[in-house]
A and B are shown apart, each in its own frame.
Chain A
Amino acid sequence: MIRLIAARELRALLSMPSTWWVLAGLQFMLAWIFLTRLDAFLEIQPQLAQIANAPGVTASIARDVCNVAALLLMLLTPMFTMRLIAEERRNQTLPLLLSSPVSSGQIVLGKFIGLMGFFVLLMSTTPLMLLSLQLGTTLDFGLLCSNLFGLILLTSCYAAVGLYISSLTAQPIIAAVSTLAILLGVWLADMSSSALDSPWHQVSPLYHFQNFSNGLLDTGDASFFVLVSGVCLLLAMQRLNSHRLHQ
């Protein structure tokens, strides 16, 4: 059942023209960053060669591309999560799911997995682009993998937050704006607090992504993402259940 709902979600996403526009736009921007970073790297390469322990090609290109991708995903996720439940409510298609023999847990998980499938598809071109560097040099696969792994965890956290917000309202636009406000707000608070032990750092997903970005797999950071995603998904299930009680 979860797979069925996920497949429908994925299909609904891919049948919208706007999805393809976003895919193309994102790809263009990431390619642009990739090429400018590559250009910059080639320019300073002679100087880098004279420094001991200079950052390699993976650290100077792949890390930046992934960081930009993380930032762009933060801005894009609300566009995709907004319709998950809010649109079903607005189009009054929710009764089909509610009157079927599926639990609200299955509905929420199905939608989440469907969306994550889409995000994996969306990001799959990034490693391909970076792997093309393998033609001319050797890559640090450990660093690359930790970046990609972090990116997936980060996206799942964004998606879960968006899914929960979407379950609160019947207007997709309100869901999108609220999700964006939360994600952007937390990020800005994190950026603007200069104290090293500021609590804002701890609640900011992008701050927790930094360790992954530097090639450090920290269970603390990973569990932050898993916890946030898990709690948001549970809240969304709870919300769907209570929708039956207080409409």
Chain B
Amino acid sequence: MSLAAVNAKNSEVKSKPVGFLMHAAIFGYIPRSFFYANFLVSNLTSALTLEAAHLTRRFGKNTVIYDISLQLKRGEVLGLLGHNGAGKSTTMQMLTGCLAPDSGTIKICGFDLQRQPTLAKAHIGYLPETPPLYKEFCVQDYLIFAAKLRGIKANEVSSALDLALQRCGLNDKRHTLIGTLSKGYQQRVGIAQAIIHQPAVIILDEPTVGLDPAQIRDIRTLIRELGTAHSVILSTHLLGEVASICDRVEILQRGTLVYSGTTSELDKLNGVAGQLEENFIRLTEVKI
């Protein structure tokens, strides 16, 4: 799906309550000022799926993450870029509740990750750097376990399983032991466990690592498709990947956010289009 289509879908989601309220405003049931206020509130509650504010994290005396704030809307794919050790994985661990930030708040779908962890985590799908796979399980049993763990009701498990298997192209590997699968297939199972419960926020740490070109293409299409109905954050080293699937880019450099903007803005930061790589390198080198 193209960028324009995604944006169209976005505005469609927002316009529903607006349309209703507009109707009410025209007929004079409610004053106009209320209409604007309500629009802002509905925009905040319905569209924003992830809100992280002023995250800081230290390991001993090392400050790994310093004052990072992120916001993610429904139907948006955000690329997290940066050199090795810039803090991409640490940020993702904090966003999924695997690591507690030293300061700052994280809200998933309006639920505070620290105070209401169970409610917030129900809306997260996470693929860590190393897929968290139980090697002694077959693909199907592992995914059923993951689905139930994420709180899917018993009668909905099988349909969720079928959808995840089909989306990740795992239908013919259903009964294979995960330990005997190749790296690429294991990565796909990792993605399948992250999306099986249709979470509002999907967080993928280098999802296309270890895949062959055809698989990379499939997974990119899948992420694009997921990005229409869910919010996706992915970290990557591949700028081509960013250009093809991300709506927005955040660049991390030594634990701080050095750039935040849409992919097309980054692409023509100097006024010339098609300079994604040059701009990325310039942004991350200036600060060293």
Interface residues of A (CB under 8 A from B): 1, 4-5, 8, 11-12, 15-16, 91-103, 244-245, 247
Contact = CB atoms under 8 A, between A and B. Distances in A.
Nearest to A1: B149
B67 to A, nearest CB: 19
B118 A244 contact: no
Contacts of B150: 100-101
Contacts of A98: 96-98
Interface in B167-194: 193
B136 A244 contact: no
A247 B193 CA distance: 25
Contacts of A93: 132-134
A103 B117 CA distance: 8
A1 B134 CA distance: 17
B145 interface: yes
A99 B99 contact: no
What are the 6 tightest A-B residue pairs by CB atom distance, in nearest-first order? A96-B132, A93-B132, A99-B96, A99-B126, A101-B121, A92-B130
B32 interface: no
B132 A8 contact: no
A59 to B, nearest CB: 43
B128 interface: yes
Interface string B135-166: 11100000001101111000000000000000
Interface of B: 59, 93, 96-100, 117-119, 121-122, 124, 126, 128-130, 132-137, 145-146, 148-151, 193
Given A1-B149, A4-B145, A99 B136 contact: no
Contacts of B96: 95, 98-99
Contacts of A103: 117-118
Given A99-B96, A101-B122, A92 B149 contact: no
A245 B100 contact: yes
B132 A4 contact: no
A91 to B, nearest CB: 8
A8 B132 CA distance: 14
Contacts of A5: 149
Contacts of A102: 118, 149
B153 to A, nearest CB: 13
A12 B128 contact: no
Nearest to A244: B100
Nearest to B60: A246
A91 B178 CA distance: 13
Given A4-B148, A101-B118, A96 B100 contact: no
B152 to A, nearest CB: 11
A95 B118 contact: no
Contacts of A1: 149
Given A4-B149, A244-B99, A100 B121 contact: yes
Given A4-B145, A95-B128, A99-B96, 6 more contacts: A11-B137, A12-B134, A95-B96, A95-B98, A101-B122, A244-B99
Nearest to A97: B149
Contacts of B97: 98-99, 244
Contacts of A15: 136
Nearest to B146: A96
Greatest chain B CB density within 10 A among A5, A93, A96 is at: A96
B255 to A, nearest CB: 16
A84 to B, nearest CB: 13
Given A92-B130, A93-B134, A95-B126, A244 B149 contact: no
19 contacts: A1-B149, A4-B145, A8-B145, A15-B136, A91-B135, A92-B130, A93-B133, A95-B128, A96-B126, A98-B97, A99-B124, A100-B146, A101-B118, A101-B121, A101-B122, A101-B151, A102-B149, A247-B59, A247-B99
